[in-house]
Amino acid sequence: MVIPEDDEDEEAIIERRRRERQKLLEKLKHNSDTKFAKVSASAEIEDDREDEDDNIGSDDENSSAPSPAVEERQKHEEEHQSYGEWKSLKTTSTLAGKPAFDMFADDDRIDKMVKNSEDQTIMATNENPNLTDNWDDAEGYYRTQTGEVLDQRYTVFGYTGQGVFSNVVRARDVLKGSHEVAIKIIRNNEIMHKLGLKELEMLRRLNNADPDDKYHCLRLYRHFFHKKHLCLAFESLSMNLREVLKKYGKNVGIHVVAVRSYSQQLFYALKLLKRCNIIHADIKPDNILVNETKSILKLCDFGSASLVSENEITPYLVSRFYRAPEIIMGLRYDFPIDLWSVGTTIYELYTGKIMFPGHSNNQMLKLFMELKGKIPNKLIRKGQFRAQHFDESCNFLSHETDKVTQRDKVTVMPVVHKSRSLSHELRGGERLTPENNTRVTHLVDLLDKIHSIDPHKRPNISDCLNHPFITEK
């Protein structure tokens, strides 16, 4: 093989080979013998693999292995591709020269959480989609069809939606009297597959610790593989709380009695999480489902969950609007980050508005201080990311975009004055009945305690469950 003298020649060769491969694929589309077409294309691609810029696998298990250099390059390209997918969905930052992902840690940590995952992993290669049996799209999502039968027992009849990790379908279990289930089909992608296995392990722990289903975490029935996708079969529920708010309380929230019921159930879910030493790390209205009558909720989506002993400091854990201050500042975190997220969710349920709608971590800190006052210096000094938000004297560095130049403008703020009132925001200027006025007063007190900047000053779950907002009928 002749090595090109510069990058331009190499790119030209790559482009030429891609065009040749595309012509081959167009011919193969008209070949009635699908199996023969796949083998022929695999062989052609195997011949070209050393000179290609992208990773394209072969279905032929007996094909000759690439050289170590090519193998290493392919590994690097796969990692780069995975990083690109996440970068388009989540903000990334560089800490100590290492990219930090928003929602998950590095592969080493995932491997520790998912023991023996290599034995369970059934992954598709990075083939060109035109060479597969067309059941995946270009991003690895499974293309499901109404009437399709999964695992010889689940007949698909509806499509729920698609998230970062998976897509979800509704099906009837023919072995259980056509009982309705929701099936989460994990994307055919190595990182997503590992996260799916991690979610499977978290759900097993939670369900085993709650055999009588009293603690409002979603029930997993079983898991299976379908066309190289990990699939999780769950109990079927109606809609998430984001949809409930949109339908019944857009911009105004829902009734305080419903908020109280939902709050109590969420506290029970947190109680089970703590019992199992699990941090959910992504509690928000989207990840909370309700049943058909809207009376019972279940916490779901444990793809970002981890054991408390395995957490790692990262500024982008939890969706931003529900992210606790200790995460943003780079402090050690624990179960209180989930309590903070539940508190912001409760606020949103009652008001119909996001509690802290910051467009960046820096603005989130400013919003926290506008409600709670200046962050204590002792917390600032302990934070690994303090230099991003505070100077040496612990003055807040407010980052704003100049409207004229569109450049970052930093303002030193020795004091951030409290300008928000929970009581005013929750009452909204309304005249409440004496009974509801008492309930809202209790809710204000509960949320004020939950949103203590210092996580050690937040109430424990028992305190929350025994708070007058929950106990007074």
Report pLDDT for 133. Answer: 59
Task: Tell me how far CA of residue 95 lies from CA of 3, 313, 382, 399, in angstroms.
Answer: 35, 11, 17, 19
- 4-13, 347-356, 460-469 — which is least confidently predicted? 4-13
d(C-alpha 350, C-alpha 249), whole Å = 8
Two tokens, residue 45: 């691609």
**What φ, ψ does residue 134 adopt, rounded to 5°?**
65, 30
Report pLDDT for 88. Answer: 34
Two tokens, residue 20: 């040749």
Choose, from 173, 282, 301, 338, the residue flagged as catalytic. 282
Contact 173, 109 (CB under 8 A): no
Contact 244, 173 (CB under 8 A): no
Residue 65: count of CB within 10 angstroms of its CB: 7
Report pLDDT for 311. Answer: 86
Report pLDDT for 158. Answer: 94
Contact 369, 375 (CB under 8 A): yes
Is the model's pLDDT at 3 over the cut of 50? no
Contact 318, 324 (CB under 8 A): yes
Two tokens, residue 83: 């990083």
Give the mean pLDDT of 37-66.
34
Is the model's pLDDT at 394 over the cut of 80? yes
Is the model's pLDDT at 464 over the cut of 90? yes
Residue 263 banded pLDDT, cuts 50, 70, 90: very high
Report pLDDT for 365. Answer: 98
Q: Token pair 């005013």 is at which residue?
A: 424
Two tokens, residue 347: 């606020």
**What φ, ψ does residue 338 adopt, rounded to 5°?**
-70, -35
| Residues shown for the chain | 473
Is the model's pLDDT at 299 over the cut of 60? yes
Identify the residue with better confidence: 137 or 12. Answer: 137
Contact 225, 207 (CB under 8 A): no
* SS3 category, 2: coil
Report pLDDT for 12. Answer: 62
With CA atoms as reference, report the closest residue to 397 among 419, 365, 368, 370: 365
Report pLDDT for 424. Answer: 94
Is the model's pLDDT at 465 over the cut of 80? yes
Give the mean pLDDT of 96-121.
34
Task: Tell me how far CA of residue 142 lies from CA of 138, 159, 449, in angstroms.
Answer: 10, 12, 44
Q: Is 378 exposed, middle or buried (0-12, 13-18, 19+ CB in 10 A)?
A: exposed
Give the mean pLDDT of 441-461.
97
Give tens-digit pLDDT for 196-220: 999 999 999 999 999 999 999 999 9
Q: Is 317 left (phi over 0), alpha (psi -120 to 50) or beta?
A: beta
Cα 236 to chain centroid, rounded: 20
Is the model's pLDDT at 83 over the cut of 80? no
Is the model's pLDDT at 47 over the cut of 50? no
Residue 11 banded pLDDT, cuts 50, 70, 90: low
Identify the residue with better confidence: 189 or 338. Answer: 338
The alpha-helical segments, DSSP class H, found in 294-360 are: 325-329, 336-351
Q: Is 77 exposed, middle or buried (0-12, 13-18, 19+ CB in 10 A)?
A: middle
**What φ, ψ does residue 441 adopt, rounded to 5°?**
-60, -45
β-pairing, 278-279 vs 306-307, is antiparallel
Two tokens, residue 437: 């006025």
Residue 94 banded pLDDT, cuts 50, 70, 90: very low
- 235-249, 271-285, 418-432 — which is least confidently predicted? 418-432
Is the model's pLDDT at 116 over the cut of 50? no
Report pLDDT for 26. Answer: 56
E strands, 332-466, in order: 396-401, 408-413
- Which amino acid does the sequence have at 465? L
- Which amino acid does the sequence have at 125? T
d(C-alpha 185, C-alpha 162), whole Å = 9
% of the chain residues with pLDDT over 90: 63
Residue 85 banded pLDDT, cuts 50, 70, 90: very low
Q: Token pair 């298990």 is at which residue?
A: 61
With CA atoms as reference, report the closest residue to 150 among 171, 129, 179: 171
Average per-residue pLDDT in the chain? 79
% of the chain residues with pLDDT over 70: 72
In sequence order, what DSSP letters do the residues of 124-139 get, joined into one string? -----GGGS-S-B-TT
The alpha-helical segments, DSSP class H, found in 219-360 are: 241-248, 256-275, 325-329, 336-351
CB-based burial, 323-332: b 16+ in 10 Å, e otherwise? bbbbbbbbbe
Identify the residue with better confidence: 463 or 144. Answer: 463
Give the mean pLDDT of 15-20.
65
Q: Token pair 């997993």 is at which residue?
A: 220
Task: Tell me how far CA of residue 140 lies from CA of 247, 254, 280, in angstroms.
Answer: 32, 38, 25
Radius of gyration (Cα) for the chain, nearest Å?
26
Report pLDDT for 442. Answer: 97
The answer to pTM > 0.75 is: no
Residue 137 banded pLDDT, cuts 50, 70, 90: confident
- Annotation marks residue 402 as catalytic: no
The alpha-helical segments, DSSP class H, found in 186-255 are: 190-209, 241-248
Domains in the chain and their CATH numbers? 113-235 (3.30.200.20), 239-471 (1.10.510.10)
Residue 428 banded pLDDT, cuts 50, 70, 90: confident
Is the model's pLDDT at 8 over the cut of 70? no
